[in-house]
Structure 1
Amino acid sequence: MIKAEVASYGCWRSPITTDLITASTIGLGQIALCGEEIYWSELRPSESGRNVIVRRGADGKIESLTPSGFNVRTRVHEYGGSSFLVVSGTVYFSNFIDQRLYCHQSNQEPQAITPKAATRYADGVFDRQNNRIICVYEDHTDVTKEASNSLVGVELDGDHKIQLLVSGNDFYASPRLSPDGSRLAWLTWNHPNMPWDGTELWVGELKADGSLGNTQKIAGDLDESIFQPQWSPDGKLYFVSDRTGWWNIYRWQDENVEALTQMEAEFGQPQWNFGMSTYAFGSANQIICTYTQQGIWYLASLDTLTCNLELINTPYTDISSLHATSNQVVFRGSSPTQLAAIVRLDLTTKELEVLRYSSDVTIDAGYLSLPEAIEYETSDGKTAYALFYSPRNRDYTAPETEKPPLIVKSHGGPTAATSSSLNFSIQYWSNAIL
């Protein structure tokens, strides 16, 4: 065993260099499941920042689907998100350059299904009864005014007519159809609120002509944020609400709202883009969910009948974009020692399988500082939370009387909460202490 050299902070040499920090790493984005096939989007810096859709087939084969010249990204609400939808193996996506919706079938060139116009589309769901995509629609036609938001239906055959479903508020998100296709749920909010401040959850009935009727507000207000409405396989509407000050899971049935979790934890996230998902149904009686406490995310199984919450052990401390079928859960996971990856959990065997790493760069654990969750009192008796990284480099130790410098890094607000994921930029400083 090599004895560590005694050296002052600022004199440590590190294998974590600026070249390593800027090494090729792909961004792992939206996840979608279609039968036994798994789809996700990748941001590829080596392709000028192009976003492509990747598919893992039932046979385990992984292939890129998006041909050259296309970039899968929507600019609705500017932040975008939820830019593609898979229907029976056919991919529908928003193309970044012209913001039109495209239909992409295997081995064929993508075909535009929306007109050339100053309009954008996002967060689509397939309406089987009317053979259309219901999505968020943003109209920038009148440049003298702020863009208008609404929910529309885009027909997938004929001349691809666009039917207006809901309008009048400043923002819309999360259109979600009940399993029988008879009801639509959605979120809406108005200025000056951001979606993590206050949103409303609405439900309406779909008429024979595809329009909406008998709409009613289920939950939410100016000071209550609703996150991720989703229908269970047996037709009950679930959602996450921060009405207690913490984002917990609720259910609406028989005109009543009931809490399924009542924890000082967050089962939701600031919804700064579309398609964010912290829970999914393994069955009508089982929700696979993720929640965070003191900056650490946990995976769990929630029994919808007993409300019993059971932890599922994983090596990941940051879990997002969670989706499930009856036999599997797929999510984006990372930890203080692992960069982000697309991960599959077999619900029967509880075995984890990494489908895609964001990078193949590895660092010896002896050079990695593991974050410690801390909390401290701030103004008005409130509590703030942080992750503390102590100096660590297996080759060096500092003189006993010397204290290390402290770097304080504040996250960028609701759209950029600090993560416990392995971050070479942070490790650079905790390892070298320059």
Structure 2
Amino acid sequence: MHSPGAGAADKTEAPYGSWESPITAAAVSAAGRTVEGLAVAGDGRLVWVEKRPEEGGASVLVREATDPGGKAVDVTPREFAVRTLAQEYGGGSGAFAVQGDTVVFSNYDDQRLYRQTIGDRSPFPLTPEYSGPVVRYADGVFDPHFPRYVTVMEDHRNKSLNHVTTITAVTISDQDTNEPTVLVSGNDFYAFPRIDPSQKRMAWIEWSNPDMPWDKSQLWVGELQKRICIAGGDPTLVESPTEPKWSSKGELFFITDRQSGFWNIYKWDERSNVVIQLYALDAEFSKPIQNGRSYVGVLDHDLGTFSTLDIPFSSVTNIVTGDGCFYIEGASATLPVSIAKVNLDEKGTVATNFSIVWSSSEDVTKYKSYFSLPEFIEFPTAIPGQHACAIFYAPYNPSFQGSSDEKPPLLVRTHGGPTDEERGVLDLNVQYWTSRGFDDSQVVPSDQTKQIYKAMKDRGLPVALVEYEGEPHGFRKADNIKFTLEQQMVFFARTVGQFKVADEITPIKIENFD
């Protein structure tokens, strides 16, 4: 990890973009494993979905090793992929759930739900086979009162733009497949169906077009014969409740942004039917909005106290509780995406142990001297009084520097989706560029790839388009990640920087240039 300006006299002066770096495209693709969802099995061991670019982007359910430091064990067979297409983006988060030694998961190819016993490599289908992956399931949970799996279901069989979304129950069986039974319907979107372990009732979140769930949503609790809106039903109070969770005593906790506009933690008092704020803080008890920084804390709702834990992650994306510990998925500017096990002291306010269970790249520390650290910046937009945010990475290489009269090329990354984000954590895809002399800035938003390509081509600008079969959103396969990085480097070298690339790469055709 560098200190700006250190050792400048010992560096070789070379044009920005031409610097030699050990962070190759192959190294980037090899470090591309990611986590998609965490759960704890009945034996106390962690289970997660691991996306593997080196295996064609396979999404594999994996179980934590029995011995500390041991190798994790694959749960699902190679011909299955734990991934849902619900909400189109797809992914492993929300594609499975675990109860005891039983797992239910959504399979990518046919989008059917399957039941499997951990340790047994023979999944059994729970839902019918339709004409393709037209019925999709996500965000499911086991029902502690009945042998069934409660899940959000998207039905695309009518082939209209407005598919039908419901909350359904799927019978868990070892012998038969069954049509799902609809439990809740009538609204446009549903999420977080959660069963009260103390009573036969369920909490869920729902919202309608054109609202997004972080703008306006409703929290409901329902039984077989009645249901009540807990939050979001008052037309004079616009709020977006989310992430409902039941305690073992039947207490309902959730997050909402009423009153202060910040997502804080609340509790539903069932007797008086009022919502109580447990701890007021001008911060989001959810994904970070400002500076990409998140913290892990312990809230004692009886005492009304909150303690922040000292852990080395600056970005946290998932937490699950285990036996006397909790597991956390996170990363930082110098740590790649990892899963860690955290133990607390008796009071539950101090982390006494932090150990890495899994890392997306165990060898990444060997490149540490080449890392460029993120800087969070703001800049004015075309709209008066409004600013946009970006994460800026300056070019850095311990062996090279640019000349004093040359400015480095700036690579700006954008994304068109409202649910994506940049977190300022270690990503070799960024360090690949900065270690070669590029500035890198990650911003939101942009347009669709084909539209941008056509617009640039029609205007006579240099542009190249490569489409990858089976890669509808983002790159999941190692070869595609490597090829894309190399061709981007050649494209910039030829059209913008006019510098010689350090690596040997065969270029593709560039429209309006070749």
TM-score grouping bracket, smaller chain normalisation: 0.7 to 0.9
Q: Which moved more, 1:38-47 or 1:409-418?
A: 409-418
| 1:124 correspondence with 2:132 | no
Out of 151, 176, 185, which is 1:167 matched to?
185
Q: Which amino acid aligns with 1:330?
A: Y
1:364 aligns with 2:376: no
**Counterparts of residues 39-188 of structure 1 (less than 5 Å):** 39-56=47-64, 59-60=67-68, 62-80=72-90, 81-105=93-117, 106-117=119-130, 118-144=134-160, 146-157=162-173, 159=176, 160=178, 162-188=180-206
C-alpha spacing 1:390/1:108, structure 2 compared with 1 (3 Å): closer
Q: 1:57 to 1:369 in 2, by over 3 A?
A: closer
Residues 295 and 385, structure 1, Cα contact 8 Å, conserved in 2: no
CA 1:256/1:376 → structure 2, altered by over 3 Å: closer, same or farther?
A: farther
Mean CA deviation greater in 26-35 or 135-144: 135-144
Q: What do residues 229-286 of structure 1 show as CA deviations (whole Å, max 9, x unaligned)?
A: 11123322111223333222222123111223433322224xxxxxxxxxxxxxxxxx
In structure 1, runs of 5+ residues without a counterpart are 206-211, 270-290
Q: Deviations over 1:181-219 (max 9, x none)?
A: 4220001111112222221111012xxxxxx22211111
CA apart distance, 1:306: 3.0
Tell me, in whole angstroms, the C-alpha distance in 1 between the residues paired with 2:121 and 2:23: 44
Are residue 422 (structure 1) and residue 429 (structure 2) matched? no
d(CA) in 1 for partners of 2:204 and 2:290?
28
Distance 1:386 1:95, change over 3 A: same
| CA deviation map 1:345-377 (0-9, x unaligned) | 122462111111112342432211111233455
Contact 1:411 1:418 in 2 (8 A): no
1:373 paired residue number: 376
Equivalent position SS for 1:201: strand
Question: CA, structure 1 residues 138+402, in 2 after alignment: closer, same or farther (shift >3 Å)?
Answer: closer
Q: Which residue of 1 aligns with 2:27?
A: 20
- 2:507 maps to none
| Secondary structure of 2:337's aligned partner | strand
Matches within 5 A, 1:182-221: 182-205=200-223, 212-220=224-232
In terms of Rg, which structure is larger?
2
* Contact 2:199–2:250, Cα closer than 8 Å, also in 1: no
* Identity percentage of aligned residues: 38
Deviation by residue 1:54-101 (Cα, 9 ceiling, x = unmatched): 011554552101112111111222234311111210111111111111
For the Cα contact (< 8 Å) 1:128–1:181, is it kept in 2? no
In the alignment, what sits opposite 2:341? 344
Instruction: State how far apart, in whole Å, the 1-side matches of 2:393 and 2:293 are.
Output: 14
Q: In the TM superposition, what is the alpha-carbon distance from 1:431 to its structure 2 partner?
A: 2.1
Report the CA distance shift for 1:330/1:94 in structure 2 as closer, same or farther (over 3 A): same
Does the 8 Å contact 1:319/1:334 carry over to 2? yes
SS in 2 for 1:91: strand
Q: Distance in 2 between matches of 1:25 and 1:141?
A: 34
CA distance in 1, matches of 2:340, 2:305: 25
Within 5 Å, which residues of 2 pair with 1:260-279?
Answer: 260-269=278-287
Counterpart of 1:297 in 2: which secondary structure?
A: coil
Contact 1:227 1:268 in 2 (8 A): no
3-state SS of 2:225 partner: strand
Once residues 293 and 412 of structure 2 are traced to their aligned partners in structure 1, the CA distance between those partners, rounded to angstroms, is 19
Aligned to 1:250: 266
**The residue matched to 1:316 in structure 2 has which SS?**
coil
SS of match in other structure, 2:432: helix
Amino acid across the alignment from 2:171: E
Gaps of 5+ in 2: 1-6, 346-350, 439-514
Q: CA RMSD in A?
A: 2.5
> In proportion to residue count, which structure has more strand?
1
1:298 aligned counterpart, secondary structure? coil
- CA drift of 1:337 comes to 1.4
Q: Which residue of 2 aligns with 1:321?
A: 318
Task: Tell me how far apart the structure 2 counterparts of residues 27 and 308 of structure 1 sit (CA, whole Å).
Answer: 34
C-alpha change, 1:229 and 1:428, in structure 2 (3 Å) is same
1:335 aligned residue = 332
CA distance in 1: counterparts of 2:59 and 2:21, whole angstroms: 33
How many residues are aligned here? Answer: 407
User: In the aligned structure 2, how far is the partner of 1:90 from the partner of 1:8?
Assistant: 57
| Distance of aligned partners of 1:432 and 1:253 in 2 relative to their CA distance in 1, 3 Å threshold | same
8 Å Cα contact 1:265/1:292 also seen in 2: no
The superposition leaves residues 8-37 of structure 1 with CA deviations (integer Å, 9 ceiling, x where unpaired) of 534533222333223353221110112412
Letter in 2 for 1:74: T
Q: Secondary structure at the match of 1:71?
A: coil
* Inter-CA distance 404–144: structure 2 relative to 1 (3 Å threshold): closer
Change (3 A) 1:405 1:145: closer
Pairing 1:32–2:39 present: yes
Deviations 1:276-308 (A, max 9, x none): xxxxxxxxxxxxxxx564211212112212332
- Rounded to whole Å, the distance in 2 between the matches of 1:228 and 1:68 is 32
Shift of 1:413: 4.3
Which structure is richer in relative contact order (CA contacts within 8 A, separation 6 or more)? 2
For the residues of structure 1 that align with 2:82 and 2:278, how far apart are their CA atoms? 36
Task: Name the one with the larger helix percent.
Answer: 2
